[in-house]
Amino acid sequence: MSEAREAILARIRTALGRTAEARAAAAAEIGARLAAPRPGPLPSRAAVAGEERIALFGRMARAVGAEVQRLSGPDGIRDAVVEFLRRHNLPARLVRAADPLLDAAGLEADPLLEVRTGVPAEPDPVGLTVALAGIAETGTLLLASAAERPTLLAFLPETSIVVLPTAALVGTYEEAWARLRGRPGFPPRSVNLITGPSRTGDIPPSIELGAHGPRRLLVLLVDEARPVES
Amino acid sequence: MEPQSLAFRERAARALADPVLETALRRLETGWQEGRTRAAAALPEFEALRDAAVAIKNHVLANLDLYLEIFEERFRAAGGVVHWARDAAEARAIALEICRAVGAKTVTKSKSMVAEEIGLNPFLEANGLRVVETDLGEYIVQLAGEVPSHLVGPAVHMTRERIAELFARHHGGPPKEDSAALVAEARRVLRQRYLEAEVGITGANFLVAETGSVVTVTNEGNAELTQGLPRVHLVITSIEKLVPTVEDAFTLLRLLARSATGQEFSGYTTFLTGPARPGDRDGPKEMHLVLLDNGRSAMVGGPFREMLRCIRCGACMNHCPVYLAVGGHAYGWVYVGPMGSVLTPQFAGLERTWTLPHASTFCGRCQEVCPVRIPLPKLMRLWREEAHRRHLPPPTARFGLSAWGFLARRPALYRLATRLAAAGLGLLGRRRGRFSRLPLAAGWTASRDFPVPSGPTFRALWRTRGRP
C-alpha cells in the first residue's frame, strides 16, 4: 500500500504548497520541538507539595470512587489488603506483580491469603500492582507495563489494588511522564493513566461502576517506600 | 453506510413527535451540558488551554506531511506496522486482510468513529467474521441493529426499558429492572468475547509523533481489554489525529473529558507504543495501524481546514438546540450535530447531504463551547453557499434566498420594501391585531399567530433614536 502512502503525502504537500526549502526549515523546527517537549498551561491547583499534594490526590481520587488509604510503610500493605478484602466480602485470593515492593510486603506469609505472581486470568478476583506515579491534579495513577508488571493486573480482575509510594506523587501528568523519560526501554509499551474504577453512563439513569474494568479500586499510599526503579 | 441525510426534514419531524427521545435528550442538557460548565469553571486555566490546543492543532495541520512521516518511522521502530488507506474501501480491505492473516473468527472492537465512517462492521461480517462491540453504548446499539446517535454516548437515545428488552432477547432470561444488573450482565457476556477474539480493534484519540504512540481514552476500560487480550491489535484511525509531543497530548486531554462529559479526566487514558516486548507476559503479539485519509488531505489546504482540529468531544451537539430536539439519527449518517453537519458533506458528498448544514439556527453555542474553537457556523454557512451555487436546495427556497439577497444588498430598496410591507400588514390586520394565516409564512402561522406590525420599521426607529 505504499502507493496510497505516496498519494496521501503528495496531496498534503501540494495543499500546503511546500517548497524544498520550506520543508527543510519546517523539519528543523519540528526536530527541535520534539527533542525538547514543552508543557502547555499547567493547572495552578497542582502546584502544591507535601501534605497538601497528598490531600489533593486523595480528594480527587475519592471523588471518582476510588478508596485511598495511607500507610506508614510497606509492612502495612498485607494487613490493609486483608482488611479491605474482608470488608468487601471478597475472596482472599489475589494475583500480584513481581515487584520488589510487593515481594517485601510478605503477602505469602499470610495463611488466609492465596497469592499468585504473574498474569491474571478469568476469573481471578483481585489484582495487585504498583504505580510508577500518582498525579494529584485529578487523583490519577500512572502504571507502566513491564515483564514484572503485567498491564492486565489493573484491568481484568473485578477488584484492583494499586500500591503507590508517597514519594512518587507529583502534581501534573507532565511531571509523571518526566519520571519515565530517560529510563531504559522508554517509552514503556503500555502506559495507563487510571482515574477511579471503571464506569459507564450508557444505561440510564445512573453511573454504574465496573463496566469492564475493575468495579473497585483501592490505592495504598505508602510512605517510606522507594518509588519503582528510581 | 449510505447517507439518509436528504430526508432530514422527515426524520426530524418523526423525532420531534417521539416523547421517549425527548426524555432521553433532556438528560444530555442536565448531565453533560451542565457538567461541562461546572468543569470549565473549576479550572481557571481552561481558556488558556483552549488557545494552546488551537495552536497545537494548527501547527500539526501546517506540517502534517512531516508529522505523519515521523510518526510512521517511530511507530515502526517500536515494532508496529503502518498501513495507509486513501479511502474507505482500501481501509476495509486492509482490516480484512489482517484478520484473515491470523485466521480470525471473532473480532472485538472498542468504539471507533473512523470505523463507523468506513462501514467496517458490516463489511467484516459480510466476510464471515463475528464482530463484537465492547463499549457498552456501542454494544447496545449493535444489538438493536442501529447506528450511534452521539459521538460519546452512542446509545443516548435509548431508555433502560428498551435496553433491558434487548438484553433479554439476546442473552436470554427475563428483562432486568435496574442499570447495575444490566451492566453486570453485559460484563459477563462480553468477558467471554474478549477471551475468544483473535483480533482487537480500537480507534485512537491521538497519535503522538514524538514517541510513535497511540492514545486511547475510555471510561469503561474496554479499550485495554480489547487490545490487551487478543493476539493482534488493529488501530483504525485517521491522519489528523497527530500531536507533536506527549505534553501536547496532555494539553488536549485536559480539555477532552471536561468538554465531553464534564469529568475532570476520563477513567482510562492509555499510551500504547508497539506490541508486546521480549519478556512481556501480556499484550498483543502484533500491532497494526490503518491511517485513513478519505478526503482529509483535500481539506488541509481548503476552507474547511479548521474542521480537522476536531477532537470528537461532542460538546457541539450537547449544546445544539437542533440536535437536542431531534437527536442524532435525524442527521442520517455517522457524524451528527454541528460537527457532523460540516464533516458529512465532505465525506459523503454535498449532493446527498446538503440539508445538514441547513439544520442550524446559527445560534453559535457550538463555537462557544468547542474546545479547539472551530468556527462551526461559518463552516456550515460555507456549505450553504456551495449548495446554493450548485442548485441543490429546491427552486422555491433558492428563489426566496436570491430575492432576499437582492434586496438586502440595496439599502434604499430594502427600506422601501420593509416600510411598504409593515404598512400593508398593519392596515390589513388592524382589526384583529394578529394574523392566523399568512401567505409564504405557513411554517410560522401553523403553530402560532403572527403579530401585526405596530408602527415604524426597526431601521426607521434606529434613525430617529440614534445609537444607544
Q: What is the pLDDT of residues B91-147, one digit of tens each?
A: 999 999 999 999 999 999 999 999 999 999 999 999 999 999 999 999 999 999 999
pLDDT digits (tens, 9 = 90+) for B262-302: 999 999 999 999 999 999 999 999 999 999 999 999 999 99
Find the Cα–Cα–Cα–Cα dihedral A31, A34, A35, A37, rounded to 10°: 140
> With contacts defined as CB-CB under 8 Å, which chain B residues touch A193?
265, 268-271
User: Worst-scoring range by mean pLDDT, A109-118, B68-77, B242-251, B446-455?
Assistant: B446-455
Q: What is the DSSP string of B10-29?
A: HHHHHHHT-HHHHHHHHHHI
pLDDT digits (tens, 9 = 90+) for A197-210: 999 999 988 899 99
Residue B373 CB partners (closer than 8 Å, separation 6+): B50, B51, B54, B309, B367
Cα–Cα dist A113/A83, whole Å: 11
Mutate to test the interface with A, among B54, B215, B282, B346 (most CBs of A within 10 A): B282
Strands B242-243 and B268-272: unpaired
C-alpha cell at B10: 422527515
pLDDT digits (tens, 9 = 90+) for B299-341: 999 999 999 999 999 999 999 999 999 999 999 999 999 999 9
Report whether pLDDT(B452) > 90.
no
Report whether pLDDT(B379) > 70.
yes
Report whether pLDDT(B61) > 90.
yes
Q: What are the angstrom distances between the C-alpha of A19 and each of A15, A25, B161, B193?
A: 11, 10, 60, 51
Residue B64 host element (H or E):
helix B64-77
Q: Provide mean pLDDT across the span A182-190.
A: 93
Q: How many CB pairs under 8 A join A and B?
A: 258
Cα–Cα dist A46/A42, whole Å: 8
**Residue whose C-alpha is closest to residue A223's, from A181, A175, A167:** A167
Cα–Cα dist A180/A157, whole Å: 26
Which of A1, A140, A204 comes nearest B179 by C-beta? A204
Q: What is the DSSP string of B33-44?
A: IHHHHHHHHT-T
C-alpha cell at A169: 506523587
**Residue whose C-alpha is closest to residue B341's, from B3, B28, B2:** B3
Report whether pLDDT(A173) > 90.
yes
Q: What is the pLDDT of residue B457?
A: 85
Q: Provide mean pLDDT across the span A94-109.
A: 96
Please name the residues between 114 and 133 in chain A that touch chain B, using a CB distance below 8 Å: 118-119, 122
What is the average pLDDT score of chain B? 95
Kindly report whether the peptide bond that precedes residue A123 is cis, defined as omega within 30 degrees of 0: yes
Q: What is the pLDDT of residue B131?
A: 98
Distance from CA of B410 to the nearest CA of A (A): 38
Please name the residues between 57 and 116 in chain A that touch chain B, using a CB distance below 8 Å: 60, 63-64
Cα–Cα dist A131/A192, whole Å: 9
Distance from CA of A216 to the nearest CA of B (A): 13
Cβ atoms of B455 and B429 within 8 Å: the answer is no
Kindly report whether the peptide bond that precedes residue B275 is cis, defined as omega within 30 degrees of 0: no
Cα–Cα dist B379/B268, whole Å: 33
C-alpha cell at A197: 474504577
- Domain ranges for chain B, please list them: 1-42+314-393, 46-297, 411-465
Q: Tell me what percent of the residues of chain B surpass a pLDDT of 70.
A: 100
Residue B445 host element (H or E):
helix B442-445
Q: What is the pLDDT of residue B439?
A: 77
Cα–Cα dist B118/B87, whole Å: 8
Placement of cell 444489538 in the chain? B143
> With contacts defined as CB-CB under 8 Å, which chain A residues touch B160?
203-205
Report whether pLDDT(A230) > 70.
no
Inter-chain residue contact B269 with A192, CB threshold 8 Å: yes
Task: Place B468 in a pLDDT band, splitting at 50, 70 and 90.
Answer: low
Three-state secondary structure string covering B229-286 = CCCEEEEEEEHHHEECCHHHHHHHHHHHHHHHCCCCCCCEEEEECCCCCCCCCCCCCE
pLDDT digits (tens, 9 = 90+) for B150-194: 999 999 999 999 999 999 999 999 999 899 999 999 999 999 999
Distance from CA of B459 to the nearest CA of A (A): 45
Q: What is the DSSP string of B145-171?
A: T---SSSS-TTTT--HHHHHHHHHHHH
The partner residues of A172 in beta bridges, in order of sequence, read none
Placement of cell 505504499 in the chain? A2
Helix axis angle, A20-35 relative to B64-77, nearest 10°?
A: 50
pLDDT digits (tens, 9 = 90+) for B244-258: 999 999 999 999 999
Cα–Cα dist B188/B138, whole Å: 16
Cβ atoms of B311 and B113 within 8 Å: the answer is no
Q: What is the pLDDT of residue B467?
A: 67
- List helix spans (H) across B349-375: 365-369
Helix axis angle, B395-408 relative to B411-428, nearest 10°?
A: 110
What is the average pLDDT score of chain A? 95
Q: What is the pLDDT of residue A153?
A: 98
Cα–Cα dist B268/B311, whole Å: 17
Which of B85, B228, B270 comes nearest A152 by C-beta? B228
Please name the residues between 4 and 63 in chain A that touch chain B, using a CB distance below 8 Å: 4-5, 7-9, 11-18, 23, 26-27, 30, 33-34, 37-45, 60, 63
Distance from CA of A37 to the nearest CA of B (A): 6
> With contacts defined as CB-CB under 8 Å, which chain B residues touch A44?
44-45
The number of residues in chain B equals: 468
- Residue B218 is which amino acid? T
Q: Strand ranges (DSSP E) for chain A?
A: 67-71, 93-96, 114-117, 126-130, 133-135, 140-144, 159-165, 169-170, 190-194, 199-200, 208-209, 216-222
Cα–Cα dist B79/A202, whole Å: 35
Domain B46-297 has CATH 3.40.50.10420: yes
Judge whether A187 is closer than 8 Å to chain B, CB to CB: yes
* Nearest-by-CA chain A residue for B280: A147
Instruction: Please give the class, per CATH, of domain A45-222.
Output: alpha beta
Which of B159, B229, B269 comes nearest A204 by C-beta? B159
Find the Cα–Cα–Cα–Cα dihedral A29, A32, A34, A38, rounded to 10°: -100
Give the residue with greater pLDDT, B443 vs A13: A13
Cα–Cα dist B413/B302, whole Å: 36
Cβ atoms of A140 and A197 within 8 Å: the answer is no
Q: What is the pLDDT of residue A229?
A: 64
Beta-carbon neighbour count of residue A106 at 10 Å?
13
Q: Provide mean pLDDT across the span B373-396.
A: 96
